[in-house]
Structure 1
Amino acid sequence: MPRIYVIDDDMDLLKVVKSLLLKRGFDVSIFSDWEAANCSMKVYEPQLILLDVFLSGIDGLDVCQRLKASPYTKHIPILLFSAFPRIAESAIHDYGADDFIAKPFEVGDLIQKVHSVLSMKGVSA
């Protein structure tokens, strides 16, 4: 089962997304800050990262760009999410995200995006 990291500073959203993904058979780790996720990633590599664009203290777009620039993490697909859908195109083209979903999102849309990004990268869900 694919391991998914969800990084967002909204604990309520983290709990909901974790529950939704666990019910669909994914191995899910949630993080409210980037540093904890980054440390964990060095030990347990995720097959997908769901990353909020606006994190407390750090820009999620910068995190995405750094992950995609690193030879150790560039292969990990990143699905960005934000309440500001206008950034979707630049998030994908300028920062290297694999896809984008706007908040608030429908459960079915989130699950479809997760499956789509994983299958694009050859990971079976």
Structure 2
Amino acid sequence: MKRILVVDDNSAILDVLEILLSEEGYKVKCVDDASDFLPVVIDFEPQLIILDIQLGRYDGRALCDNLKGLGNTKDIPVLLMSAKVNIRDMGVYTCTAQEFITKPFDIDDVVRRVSSHINR
């Protein structure tokens, strides 16, 4: 069973994605606190991560870049999420994520994007 880690500080988003992705046959782990992000990634060994950009005092883009800089996690696809219409609205920042999902998101679009990255 393919594993997906979802990191967001909004419990409603976590609930929706957990139900949606579980129904698609994925094992889903949801985390609402980015302070233990890397240990969870190492322990859970996800094949894909859905990561909110604005996580309180954490920036999801920086977490993504940190993840991509490590040998054992660099190949995990990351889909960033934000309520901002465009990632450029967040300010100048180079990011290594595979895709960007705008909230509110279209459920079918999220499933399609997840499938395109996790089933490669």
TM-score, structure 1 normalization: 0.87
Q: Is the 8 A contact 2:79 2:98 kept in 1?
A: yes
Length, aligned pairs only: 119
Structure 2 partner of 1:47: 47
Structure 1 partner of 2:73: 73
Aligned to 2:16, the other structure's residue is in SS state helix
Q: Is the 8 A contact 2:4 2:26 kept in 1?
A: yes
Runs of 5+ consecutive residues of structure 2 not aligned to the other structure: none
Q: Is the 8 A contact 1:99 1:117 kept in 2?
A: no
**Letter of the aligned partner of 1:9 in structure 2?**
D
Structure 1 partner of 2:13: 13
TM-score, structure 2 normalization: 0.90
**Letter of the aligned partner of 1:13 in structure 2?**
I
Provide runs of 4+ in structure 1 moved above 3 Å.
none
Aligned to 2:30, the other structure's residue is in SS state strand
Give distance in 1, aligned partners of 2:34 and 2:79.
Answer: 15
Structure 1 partner of 2:82: 82
Structure 2 partner of 1:56: 56
Give distance in 1, aligned partners of 2:52 and 2:40.
Answer: 17
1:88-107 maps to which residues of 2 (within 5 A)? 94-107=94-107
Give distance in 1, aligned partners of 2:113 and 2:8.
Answer: 17
Q: Do structure 1's residue 38 and structure 2's residue 43 form an aligned pair?
A: no
**Letter of the aligned partner of 2:25 in structure 1?**
G
CA positional deviation for 1:34: 1.4
- Percentage of matched positions with identical amino acids: 38
**Letter of the aligned partner of 1:36 in structure 2?**
D
RMSD: 2.0
Aligned to 1:85, the other structure's residue is in SS state coil
CA positional deviation for 1:32: 0.3
Give distance in 2, aligned partners of 1:53 and 1:69.
Answer: 18
Structure 1 partner of 2:115: 115
Give distance in 1, aligned partners of 2:68 and 2:94.
Answer: 11
